[in-house]
Amino acid sequence: MVEWLISETPVGYPEAVAAMEAHVDAMQARTAGEQVWLLEHPPLYTAGTSARETDLLQPGRFPVYRSGRGGQFTYHGPGQRVAYAMLDLRPRGADLRRYVYDLEEWAIRALARFTVRGERRPGRVGIWVERGGGREDKIAAIGVRVRRWIAFHGIAVNLDPDLSHFQGIVPCGIASGPESRFGVTSLHDLGILVSLAELDMALKGAFAEVFEIGGSRQKPTAAH
């Protein structure tokens, strides 16, 4: 059984990473089981292992934390639900590509519960929604770190963050803004005025379909 933990107040990024790493160590020692941790962070930027300094457009705006997860720059803050999944990939086939695909599927299925069609895009990390006129906006981010086949970090879904906070970075290396066809959106920005508790329920239900029931058993392709 996967344990679900929900933090009611924002958790600092260094504290969250330290807690995840401690839990992963306990999982390796077989003194702890799998866990999904739902939380919010105070406003901050994180830099993944592929982050480029030129993509940090406003260095002094919010704290910047180097992260061991894959990917580039990402924003976290109030109104964004972060779901940190500490899962053992060995009984799941020890397939990292499969796991990333399933993380995407988790976000897609959670969004579908609110009639939002989230989609993958080759060459672009995260989950995207079409806005018309050729514009596409990112609604969910994905980042993964694996230590001896125990995965941590996870997904972040935009419920109602301050979208202007994303302007301090080039999110995941994808240029956004008025001159670009790519941007950032949220459920509330799309007119879906659900609560954080409702989003949590959608995440729990979608997680069960993908990771416990095996609902995403389609084989991922090279494009993903």
Give phi and psi for 64, each to the nearest 5.
-120, 130
CA distances from 223 to 83, 111, 123, 139 (A): 25, 22, 8, 20
Residue 62 bears catalytic tag = no
Task: Considering the candidates 157, 172, 174, 187, report the single residue annotated as catalytic.
Answer: 172
Residues 6+ positions from 93 with CB-CB distance below 8 Å: none
Strand order through the sheet with 44-47: 64-66, 44-47, 73-76
Q: What is the DSSP secondary structure assignment for residue 190, as one 8-state letter? A: T
Strand partners, 145: 152
Cα dist. 213→2, 107, 210, 216, 223 in Å? 13, 16, 6, 9, 25
In the structure encoding, which two tokens stand for residue 78, read together?
């109030």
β-strand 135-147 against 124-132: which pairing, if any? antiparallel
Which residues are tagged catalytic?
172
